Amino acid sequence: MYTGDSITYLSEAHSNEVEQAGPGEVVSLARTPWGENIRIEMKARYFSASGKPCFSTTIISQGVAPDAVNLCKYGSGRWGATRAFSPAETDRPQLTVGDAK
């Protein structure tokens, strides 16, 4: 669902809906960068390392596998989606100094 750009911005109206949502809620959006009638399941609210308010979410679309994305609020006041890392990408063993590669 993430478009591959560094940030996929939601419209101002959709940004307002995300702003009002809380963890555990599902937000239904009509026309989005990912298609029509998308549902966004709001998981956890957090702050990014740069201090932006964010949500971890799952985007649900008819006939497409759910996709994890992070939604953050940017300086323009609009919320934007960035790709979330999958467990396969984050479960790599961590090497320490002196370990063989």
Residue 97 lies in a domain: no
Comparison of pLDDT for 42 and 34, the residue scoring more: 42
Comparison of pLDDT for 7 and 55, the residue scoring more: 55
| DSSP 8-state secondary structure symbol assigned to residue 14 | H
Residue 91 lies in a domain: no
28 in Cβ contact with 38 (< 8 Å): yes
32 in Cβ contact with 15 (< 8 Å): no
Residue 45 lies in a domain: yes
Q: What is the pLDDT of residues 6-34, one digit of tens each?
A: 788 888 999 999 999 999 999 998 888 77
Sheet with 8-9: list strands edge to edge.
8-9, 79-83, 64-73, 53-61, 35-47, 26-32
Count of structural domains, the chain: 1
Q: Which domain holds residue 34?
A: 8-84
Per-residue exposure over 43-66, b if at least 16 CB sit within 10 Å of its own CB, e if not: beeeeeeeebebbbbbbbbeeeee
Least confident range of 47-56, 62-71, 76-85, 90-99: 90-99
Report the pLDDT averaged over residues 33-62: 89
